[in-house]
Amino acid sequence: MIADNKDYLHLHFLVFIWGFTAILGLLISIPAVEIVFYRTLIASIALWLLLKYRKRNLSLGQIEIFKIFTTGFLIAAHWILFFAAARVSTASVCLAGMATCSFWTSLLEPLLTRRKIKAFEVFLGLMVIAGLYIIFRFEFNHALGLGMAIVSAFLAALFTVINSKFTRRHNPYTITFYEMAGACIGIGLFFPIYLSFWATEGKLQLVPQNLDWLYLLILALICTVYAYSASVELMKKISAFSVNLAVNLEPVYGIILALLIFGEREKMQPGFYLGTAIILLSVLSYPVINRIKRRKALEVDTIR
């Protein structure tokens, strides 16, 4: 199957949707933990119905289900920190921190797959650190939010590398179902600790207000179930390189959307945009340099 222009437009539309998630987190009135609880609950129910409709076999073996299920705990922690980062700072700061995800992946993948660390990955990683230093220098009042977003990006990179192993053996939709179910139950187990230390007035806020249900449905059904399912389908036509390159634009779309929707609240000092630009340059350069390196390696092997 060959991709056409409509497929590439569809891909960028999906990335645009993912860039909208931080904004939805700010529009929903309930706290971050409760948001992720509802997001994973609705997504897991929707995925179960989808899998049943497609008559997919959910049996993977107890050990595999347990591994995938507990990976959901990482996803829950990642999303909680992601939405909390936007709350304590801004959507733009949160997305700038999330742009470090590719950097963390470049470090974690060699460690978990036992391959050699590439020199250009170390260089690009230093560029990311330089960008973060500039952001911290000019936006130190948002240091907590940026720090939370960076940890969230690390967790995203970790479960992405873990997922890459699962997808070699199992259907991606089945994996996502068990991960969403695991994330939802993981949050349920976390509730007592949350109530003791962080919950507002020591109680859960599980009653969404006004338009919260609409935003939660958009977050769970469109940003999670639809966007993920559609991206998997597109990967049958579009190369992984093209998909990864487009996904790297998520922080760009998100920051532009945040400026348009929240206006003055999202405006930062010039240093923030300089630091973010350096991080994004590093992120966007990675797949390009990686592809060039692979081509050269293939040419050397052909000559031999």
- Of 48, 12, 67, 6, nearest to 256 (Cα)? 12
> Please, are residues 78 and 193 in contact by the beta-carbon 8 Å criterion?
no
Mean pLDDT of 80-89: 94
Q: Which residue has the higher pLDDT, 213 or 112?
A: 213
**Confidence band for 219, pLDDT divided at 50, 70 and 90:** very high
Please report the DSSP string for 231-283 in residue order. Answer: HHHHTTTS-HHHHHHHHTTHHHHHHHHHHHHHGGGG---HHHHHHHHHHHHHH
State how far the Cα of 233 lies from the Cα of 195, in Å rounded to an integer: 40
Assigned token pair, 226 = 């639809």
> Please, are residues 45 and 38 in contact by the beta-carbon 8 Å criterion?
no
Domain ranges of the chain: 5-303
What pLDDT score does 100 carry? Answer: 84
**Confidence band for 32, pLDDT divided at 50, 70 and 90:** very high
Query: What is this structure's pTM?
Result: 0.85
Mean pLDDT of 115-140: 80
State how far the Cα of 122 lies from the Cα of 49, in Å rounded to an integer: 44
State how far the Cα of 174 lies from the Cα of 61, in Å rounded to an integer: 12
Which stretch, 82-91, 164-173, 238-247, 253-262, has highest mean pLDDT? 82-91
